[in-house]
Amino acid sequence: LNSPLELYTTELGGKTGISPYKIKVERRLSDLLDYFSDREASEEILRGGEDPIIYEVYEIPFEPLEGLLNVGCTVIYPGKVGDEYYFTKGHFHEKESTSEIYIGMKGEGIILIQDHEGKAVNIKIKPNVLVYIPPGTAHRTVNVGREKLVFIAIYPSDAGHDYETVRTKGFARVVLEEDGKPIIKDNPRYKRE
Ligand SMILES: [Fe+2]
């Protein structure tokens, strides 16, 4: 990890969104089985011998300390499981007071944002759009385009990631393709907290 006392720079753009970076994380369909709506469709793809990459994250993280900011770049591949577009798992921050900034670099997507009561909003992300994600909200990004969706995230290094709430309760809304276009629907499988 970088020392928080040392200045660094990283270049924006290219395939990894930031370069250089410190850590790369790869999420494949098998990592997201509990997240996509259509379990049958997921399992059929896996049975066919494929385990496609859904998204990659490139990061410059610090240890979790108040006052430090991490930078990450997420690359979501284009594609669908059943009718549902590829997305990130989505998470609440463990430290509820922390917020986050996203900056669109390439492609087009929809960010699903909701609080613990299930009050949900969605917002578009595309190049040169900055999105502020308020504290206490879960956030998931969905790639609704035909190319990779690339965006930068800046967030407190001590925010922490709570994936479990999203894994067990789901998101209030889903983004599906209908007649070749993305539509946002209420998720019938969402479990209110
Ligand atoms: Fe976050």
pLDDT band at 192 (very low <50, low <70, confident <90, very high): confident
- pTM of the full predicted structure? 0.96
Ligand 1 centre distance from Cα of residue 134 (Å): 10
The pLDDT, as a whole number, for residue 168 is: 96
For the cut 80, the answer to whether the pLDDT of residue 193 exceeds it is no
Burial (Cβ within 10 Å: 0-12, 13-18, ≥19) of residue 113 = buried
Ligand 1 centre distance from Cα of residue 59 (Å): 13
For the cut 80, the answer to whether the pLDDT of residue 134 exceeds it is yes
The pLDDT, as a whole number, for residue 153 is: 98
pLDDT band at 98 (very low <50, low <70, confident <90, very high): very high
Mean pLDDT of all residues in 173-181? 97
77 Cβ contact partners less than 8 Å away, ≥ 6 residues apart: 52, 53, 54, 55, 86, 143, 148
Residue 142 contacts residue 110 (beta carbons within 8 Å): yes
Ligand 1 centre distance from Cα of residue 100 (Å): 6
Ligand 1 centre distance from Cα of residue 182 (Å): 23
Burial 74-106 (b: 16+ CB within 10 A, else e): bbbbeebbeebbbbbbbbbbeeeebebebbbbb
Ligand 1 centre distance from Cα of residue 140 (Å): 9
Ligand 1 centre distance from Cα of residue 88 (Å): 11
The pLDDT, as a whole number, for residue 167 is: 96
In the numeric block, which tokens belong to residue 154?
Answer: 């800046």
Burial (Cβ within 10 Å: 0-12, 13-18, ≥19) of residue 126 = middle
